[in-house]
Amino acid sequence: MSNEQESTGGVRTSSAEGGELRERVFGLRTAVLRSDAVTGVFDRITGRERVFASVQAGFGLGWMLVFLFAPLLYIVSLSFWQRGAGGVVVQEFTLANYEYILTESVDLASLTFKNLYLTILFQSLKYGVFVTVGALLLGYVPAYFLGRTVTKWKAALLLLVVLPFWVPLIIRYYAWILVLGNQGLLVSMLGWVGIEASGFLYTELAVVSGLTQALLPFMILPIYNSVNEIDSSLIESAKTMGATPLRSFYEVTLPLTLPGVSAGVILVFILSVGSYMAPALLGAPSNTMVANLIESTFGQNLDWPLASAMGVVYLFVLFGLISVFNRFVGLDDVFGGGAE
């Protein structure tokens, strides 16, 4: 019995000593971590993180300054200079470039507008509206289907949407030449049903259809993202309260997809108005758009100041239209700025 009591007492004593030792180690560790040396290191690390964040922000601003604002500032400056003999740029301030592209052959008294630049700019904006409306009508249904479907083939279907991006744009436009030409696929298909046609190439329809096909993914993907984020319980609640599928779509789904629709509209409109290849390959000279006019003025006529002025006016018109769009839609809500 005495041996058992001695062994038990020894165990209790060793346990007490072990607990006291752990407390001392814990206290020592706490003291070390709270010491000025250790806290100073952490403060320096935190300060370096702030420095790193500042460096990253400065690098981003510098990148934008060098590759975006500096070229844009040069173009704006160039638009106020003159074209000399042989296309040499004369650095003398003038407003003649803007006067030419805005007031040449413009008679406000009789409302006569025969200005080449304004006519082509208006035509570009018109094509942009046609392409945007067409892409929206063709893209909303597949985007809604992709966003609501739960099939295992969803990833494959999304791959089909982005698959055209893997093919160079010029090849896709050349494919449209084969489709819309005099002996193309569309003419053959119409002939099968007894409709005679001589081809649709080098027309306004060819330019608009080619642009719509090329830019359709830019409309589908933003709408798909909005549909995919809709909580299914909201739609089920609307149906539970007696709403028909059509009314639940109009009251719930459509308003929740408006941010995606707005983002798609902006992307497609901007890209279509500034298109160069579609009117060059699919259209006639009468289907020239503003990018083609700027290129010919810059490259063929060697009038860099006039081409720069055309580009500046085009940017101002585009920014003006986006500002009007922003007043009615609100781009902060579209791109997530109003989610805070």
Q: Is the domain of 58 the same as that of 138?
A: no
Residues 61 and 169 in one domain: no
Task: Assess if residue 75 is contained within a domain.
Answer: no
The reply to whether 15 falls in a domain is yes
Helix, strand, coil in percent for the chain, rounding step 5: 80, 0, 20
Same domain, 180 and 63: no
Q: Provide the residue-wise pLDDT of the chain in tens; the chain has 340 residues.
A: 555 555 455 545 555 665 666 677 666 666 656 666 656 665 665 556 666 677 677 888 888 889 889 999 999 999 999 998 888 899 999 999 999 998 887 766 666 677 889 999 999 999 999 999 999 999 999 999 999 888 888 889 899 999 988 999 999 999 999 898 888 888 888 888 877 777 788 999 999 999 999 999 999 999 999 999 888 888 888 888 888 888 888 888 888 999 899 999 999 999 999 999 999 999 999 999 999 999 999 988 899 999 999 999 999 999 999 888 888 876 666 655 444 4
Specify whether 164 is located in the same domain as 15: no
Query: How many separate domains does the chain show?
Result: 2
Can you give the residue range of the structural domain that contains 7? 2-67
328 shares a domain with 199: yes
CA–CA distance, 40 with 42 (Å, rounded to integer): 5
pTM above 0.85, yes or no: no
Beta-carbon count within 10 A of 277 CB: 16
Would 187 be classed as within a structural domain? yes
143 in a domain, yes or no?
Answer: yes
Residues 23 and 125 in one domain: no
Decide if 47 is inside a domain: yes
* Number of residues assigned to the chain: 340
Measured distance CA(8)–CA(42) in Å, rounded: 47
Cα separation, 228 vs 50, in Å, equals: 36
Shared domain for 227 and 280, answered yes or no, is yes
Same-domain status, 219 and 264: yes
Asked whether residue 242 is assigned to any structural domain, the reply reads: yes
Quick check: is 120 in a domain? yes
